[in-house]
Amino acid sequence: MSGPHRPSLGEIEAARARIGAYLPRTPLVPLHFDLPDRRIFLKLETVSPIGAFKLRPALNALLSRDRQVLANGVATASSGNMAYGMAWAAKALGVPMAAYMYSGAPQTKIDGVRRLGGDVRFISMETWWRYIIDAERPYLAELLINPVTDQAVLDGNGSIGMEIVEDLPDVDVVLTPYGGGSMTTGVASAVKALKPAAQVLAVEDENAAPVTAALAAGRIVEIETKPSFIKSIGGPSLLPQIWPVVSELIDGAVTVSLDQVTEAMRLLFAKAKVVAEGAGAASLAAALSSDRARGNVVCIVSGGNIDAEAYRTVLAGGIPNR
């Protein structure tokens, strides 16, 4: 099964140039903790126009294609943020857009897609997963862009890693929430090219940790998952198209609990006034709990699109129901 390749610095730089006309550089800010062995920095993808990093890959996926290819519109399968990003990018370019989402996706992301003119088409989670792994593809007039394995998606995500190293040349560790693997691949490609000694660690919810399982087994394995309010990371297995590149680039994986993630969400609000969804706060949870997070540690806060009721539960000290 063919898959994308490791993005080169040239491809990442070209992606950043395309994206830059629409999306300002996101900030890298220190988060002040009195910790003897680590300094924590936040890469705030939450400040993008859609509140998540997915605008970068969505924009690059559209801007790198001939406009004639987009004439009939674009579609993607997404649990939320990629659909939101694609809707924003499609509206900016005047292209019709459709999103295949499952009904359990966060309402704030569904509403965001519709507000931007996207057509939300609900499918089961099982069908959604089959679209993601390319086991099944709908017959469409629109161009279907895979949110994980499309090469332009990886190249666009690489711009995050490039900005991190430019802003913090002495970075030691980068923590990336791991969903399908496109952000981790893009970020790691840039970081490893510019700062080979830096470590890149994938962060997972312990209720669905396929990277940890694959690293332990030496191969992709199917895992049992448990329900979680965190929607953008974790899955029953890894994507075979992208795993060979990811496994070459990452230095390991860190799993975090729901207690650790919700505590990180509260800390982000209290210390930095940052609203983060569960996946976005997972990197900070890992930075505070892992012995591997030492030195100058960058946490990618990937998104802040969480339903209001769930966020109220978190701020009150609880864990939202799924």
Kind plus residue range of the DSSP H or E element containing 210: helix 210-217
DSSP string, 239-263: -TTTHHHHHHH--EEEEE-HHHHHH
Burial category of 236 from C-beta neighbours within 10 Å (exposed 0-12, middle 13-18, buried 19 and up): middle
Say what the pTM is: 0.93
Domains and CATH numbers, the chain: 9-53+151-315 (3.40.50.1100), 55-144 (3.40.50.1100)
Question: Is residue 209 within 8 Å of 236, Cβ to Cβ?
Answer: no
Q: How far apart (Å, rounded) are the C-alpha atoms in residues 284 and 228?
A: 18
Burial group, residue 196, by CB count within 10 angstroms (0-12, 13-18, 19+): exposed
What does the pLDDT profile of the chain (322 residues) look like in tens digits? 567 899 999 999 999 999 999 998 999 999 998 899 999 999 999 999 989 999 999 999 999 998 888 988 999 988 778 888 999 999 999 999 999 888 777 788 888 899 999 999 888 877 777 777 776 677 777 888 888 889 999 999 999 999 999 999 999 999 999 988 999 999 999 999 999 999 999 999 998 899 999 999 999 998 888 888 887 787 778 888 888 999 999 999 999 999 999 999 999 999 999 999 999 999 999 999 999 999 999 999 999 988 899 999 999 999 998 7
DSSP assignment letter at 76 = E
Instruction: Count the residues in the chain.
Output: 322
Cβ atoms of 62 and 93 within 8 Å: the answer is yes
- Rounded (10°) angle between helices 151-167 and 182-194: 50
Beta bridge partners of 252: 201
